[in-house]
Structures are given as structure tokens and as C-alpha cells.
């Protein structure tokens, strides 16, 4: 039988997801209470909250990929990006809100990787929501201690001569890594280049894809 | 290379909301860049206004942070640390 544990599988062959009918946690209750009070007192509306959730869900790594592709093709933009990444991305038309962004340049000599050991700070206003592993204790604890081992597990093997710079996002800044432009991409336009830029390459746990 | 300004992170373990990672307390690094002033999160967390406090990006060598256990002593770790956690320091032996 291909599906020996059929009791635990739905007809689609996937495990059943347990119903979330456990009681609300303290903080879930608190969130609902505060939200309802804010609506009741006219501070905000349910529609505004939904719209904000939609706006956050609409953000994705493809926005960041466009920034990277432009940094690869436009030297003036590249310079502006490393001088003030918030201003440069806003100037490109991205609504990043009040986010203070720093762009980190990967080169043949330096590889940057971003982690938030205290919680899960991430440039959400540009890249959307972080991957689940970014918030895991294992990633947060290990990346500052043994970044090369962590990178190797992501399939990133760096030459010994490369310096690894780990950035612990501890306070008010958010970080985006600008990966190296892959070889053999001379003829590609910005759109084709952006397709090579992965989410992980902008966290530093990956490289841009080869064409 | 420009002269490095070394700073040591206070070694305190105060209670409450603190955004200075414990693994960097007592460690010495150098200023990577200054970021301007931000409201002190240790006050914000308790609904105070938050005194504007200079925030610095401090760069540490992995040798300084992890000693002999460092995976590669030359690699670095940058973190944002508020000025009230930092004091002038001499260069550590392991940079």
C-alpha cells in the first residue's frame, strides 16, 4: 500500500490539519480585545484593518528583486541605494512606509547574511512576510555562531577567502542583501535579471540564480 | 584604512525590555556607522515617550564574540546598539 497510514491522511494523500478549536491564548484574547475597542471607539475600522492586511500580503520578494536588478544595471541607482536604501527604494515607487532600510553589498570578498536574534525583524515593507525558518530559534541562534555551517545547509558554500558578515537586526534598521550579479547575464534586461533574484539571496542565505 | 573607534558593550543584565543581545554584552567592537537618534526602546516598552538615544552599528570580530569557539575568527558580526550600552574601549587583542 502506498498510503499505509491512511487513518491520518485526507483523500488527497496529505495529513489532516488539526482543527484549531483550542481555547484562545492570553495574547490572542488581548489582540481581539484591543482591535474591537479601537473599532468601537472609532480610532480605526474593520475595513481599514483588512486593507492594511491586504497591503502587507501584496508585498513580496519580487519587489526586492526589482530593486536588486536595478542595482545591477544602473550604477547611479546602485550608489544611491548603498548611501540610503530607504530613499532609493521609495524613489523607485515602493511604499515602504517609515521603514529604515540598509542595503548590504555582496562581493567576491564579502558575503552578507541577515538574522534577528531577538525576534524576527525583517524588511517586510519591501520583501513581504519572512519565511517561517527565519523566525525559528535554530536559525536565530546558529547564524550568529556558525554562519558558514548554516549557509552550507542552504547550499551556499563560500571560498575560505570570503569574509562572512552577519548582521543582527537588533533595533530600528532593516536589511536587504544585494547579491552578486551572476555571470553570463550581460545581455539580460532588468526584468529578466529580476527573475534570477530569490528571496533567500536577499536574506543572504542564497545566491542569485544562474540564467 | 581609517582609524577604528572601539567601544565596549556594558556587561549588565538588567530586567525588562532590552534590545542589546546578551551574547554581545561585555564584548568590544568598532563603529561601523552612526545611525542617528531613536527613542530608547527600554522606555517605549513601558509607555514612556522614549528619550532620543544615539544608535550605532557596531562591528565585532567573531574571534571577539566567540573566542576559541569562533567558526572563522575573521568573519564579523554587526549589531545596532544604543549609546547608553556603549563605553570607549581599547582595541581587543583578537580583532
For residue range A2-33, what is the model confidence (pLDDT) as tens digits? 545 556 778 888 888 888 788 999 999 999 99
Cell numbers that stand for A56 in this block: 502587507
CA neighbours closer than 13 Å in the CB half-sphere of residue A81: 23
What's the ipTM?
Answer: 0.95
State residue A22's pLDDT score: 87
Residue-level pLDDT at A5: 52
Residues in chain B within 8 Å Cβ distance of A172: 35, 38, 55, 80
Q: Where are the domains of chain B?
A: 6-88
To probe the interface with A, which of B80, B81, B95 has the most A CB atoms within 10 Å?
B80
Q: Is the minimum CB–CB distance between A165 and chain B shorter than 8 Å?
A: yes
Asked whether residue B94 carries a pLDDT value surpassing 90, the answer given is: no
Q: Domain limits of chain A? A: 25-58, 59-203
Q: Was domain B6-88 assigned CATH 3.40.50.300?
A: no
* CA B8/CA B30 separation, integer angstroms: 8
**What pLDDT score was predicted for residue A39?**
97
Span B14-43, mean pLDDT?
96
Q: How confident is the model at residue A1 (pLDDT cuts 50, 70, 90)?
A: very low
CATH architecture entry for A59-203: Alpha-Beta Complex (3.90)
| B90 Cα to chain A: minimum distance (Å) | 22
Amino acid at each position: 500500500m502506498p498510503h499505509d497510514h491512511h487513518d491520518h491522511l485526507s483523500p488527497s494523500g496529505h495529513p489532516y490539519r488539526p482543527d484549531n478549536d483550542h481555547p484562545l491564548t492570553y495574547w490572542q484574547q488581548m489582540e481581539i480585545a484591543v482591535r474591537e475597542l479601537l473599532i468601537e471607539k472609532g480610532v480605526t475600522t474593520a475595513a481599514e484593518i483588512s486593507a492594511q492586511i491586504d497591503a502587507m500580503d501584496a508585498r513580496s520578494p519580487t519587489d526586492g528583486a526589482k530593486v536588486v536588478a536595478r542595482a545591477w544595471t544602473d550604477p547611479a541607482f546602485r550608489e544611491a541605494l548603498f548611501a540610503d536604501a530607504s530613499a532609493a527604494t521609495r524613489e523607485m515607487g515602493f511604499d515602504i512606509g517609515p521603514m529604515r532600510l540598509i542595503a548590504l553589498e555582496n562581493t567576491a570578498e564579502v558575503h552578507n547574511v541577515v538574522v534577528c536574534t531577538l525576534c524576527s525583524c525583517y524588511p517586510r515593507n519591501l520583501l513581504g512576510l519572512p519565511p517561517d525558518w527565519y523566525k525559528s530559534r535554530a536559525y536565530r541562534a546558529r547564524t550568529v555562531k556558525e554562519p558558514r555551517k548554516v549557509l552550507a545547509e542552504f547550499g551556499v558554500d563560500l571560498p575560505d577567502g570570503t569574509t562572512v558578515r552577519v548582521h543582527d537586526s537588533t533595533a530600528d534598521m532593516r536589511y536587504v542583501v544585494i547579491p552578486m550579479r551572476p555571470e553570463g547575464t550581460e545581455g539580460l534586461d532588468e526584468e529578466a535579471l529580476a527573475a534570477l533574484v530569490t528571496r533567500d539571496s536577499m536574506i543572504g542565505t542564497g545566491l542569485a540564480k544562474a540564467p | 584604512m581609517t582609524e577604528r573607534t572601539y567601544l565596549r558593550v556594558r556587561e549588565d543584565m538588567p530586567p525588562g525590555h532590552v534590545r542589546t543581545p546578551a551574547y554581545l554584552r561585555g564584548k568590544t567592537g568598532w563603529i561601523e556607522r552612526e545611525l542617528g537618534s531613536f527613542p530608547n526602546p527600554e522606555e517605549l516598552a513601558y509607555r514612556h515617550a522614549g528619550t532620543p538615544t544615539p544608535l550605532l552599528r557596531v562591528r565585532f570580530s567573531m574571534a571577539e564574540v566567540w573566542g576559541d569557539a569562533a567558526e572563522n575568527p575573521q568573519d564579523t558580526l554587526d549589531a545596532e546598539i544604543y549609546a547608553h550600552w556603549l563605553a570607549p574601549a581599547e582595541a581587543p587583542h583578537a580583532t
